[in-house]
Amino acid sequence: MNDAATPTDAAAHPAPAAAAPVKRTPLIAGNWKMHFDHLQAIAFVQKLAWSLKDAQHNYGEVEVAVFPPFTDLRSVQTLLTADKLAVALGAQDVSPHASGAFTGDISAAMLKKLDTKYVIVGHSERRGGHGESDETVGLKARAAVDAGMIPVICVGETAEDLEAHGAAAIPVQQLTAVLAQLTADATFVVAYEPVWAIGSGEPATPAQAEEVGKALRDVLRAERGDDVANATRVLYGGSVASQNIASYMKQPNIDGALVGGASLKVDEFSRIAQFTKHVGV
Ligand code: 13P
């Protein structure tokens, strides 16, 4: 009898453990942009919460966040607190400054006071429409982190960039520049949003989203090490809908979505959040 593999030996010489699969909680985030006043916002969040409750949504399994305009944040916060709703609150922008003579700006401390968990920084509509540089985006991300919030750092190439440099080059460059402004222990989310896919009805293919998602994770690994690279969520955004969300969520380097237009329709956004039920369709 060959006794080389007795239980005692197995205990003394355990086989090397296989690398544990990386588990990141997916995030489905609705960027409302400049839609909904505070009354519409309250009605929307109430309906969303009912819809997800009906569907027995597990927020621990798939996190759901809404990003209303600034004027809605207080109303939505009050509703979330009063009804103990698990939907997370996000803001669409933040000032890089702590306080002072910055007419029209909103500070990170003001947002934090409203229980804001996430802040979008560097959306292409601000980079393009408001001339925000990578440095400004980095400073905004830092302001959010310093106040105890999680920046959702948006990166993405224009159609011209895609033609000239391929999909990943500009997003990689933008993320690298923002990381230069953040401390090593900062927690953040990255959102890959190709500019040409936003609001166009022409989403990136899942393979393309994965290619860039992987390139962004490689940047995280090189700049921050394995732990940060494995823990950080990389979202895809640009014409996401309930029909295509599952195809993105099957990609190993895509951990959620930043949804624009489809996040304004309760049933559609609720279906997107429930992608686990239609993965494989
Ligand atoms: P759409 O989903 O409308 O394409 O917008 C994406 C976006 O910009 C989210 O931030």
Q: Specify the pLDDT at position 6.
A: 44
Mean pLDDT per block of 10 residues along the chain (281 residues) reads 43 53 91 98 98 98 98 98 98 98 98 98 96 97 98 98 97 98 97 97 97 98 97 98 97 98 98 88 45
Instruction: Tell me which H or E stretch contains 215.
Output: helix 206-224
Query: Residue 93: is it exposed, middle or buried by C-beta count within 10 angstroms (0-12/13-18/19+)?
Result: buried
How far away, in angstroms, is 3 Cα from ligand 1 center?
A: 62
Largest pairwise CA distance in the chain: 84
Instruction: Tell me which H or E stretch contains 71.
Output: helix 70-82
Output the CA–CA distances (angstroms, integers) from residue 178 to 29, 93, 248, 279, in the order listed: 21, 15, 25, 33
Determine whether 193 is an active site residue. Answer: yes
Contact call for residues 65 and 23 (beta carbons, < 8 A): no
Testing ligand 1's pocket by substitution, the residue of 27, 28, 33, 34 carrying the most ligand atoms inside 8 A of its CB is 33
Q: Specify the pLDDT at position 22.
A: 73
Residue-range domains of the chain with CATH: 22-148+156-259+273-277 (3.20.20.70)
DSSP code of residue 250: T
Bridge partner list, 153: 121, 190
**Structure tokens of 199?**
């609001």
Testing ligand 1's pocket by substitution, the residue of 28, 193, 248, 263 carrying the most ligand atoms inside 8 A of its CB is 193
What is the pTM (predicted TM-score) of this model? 0.92
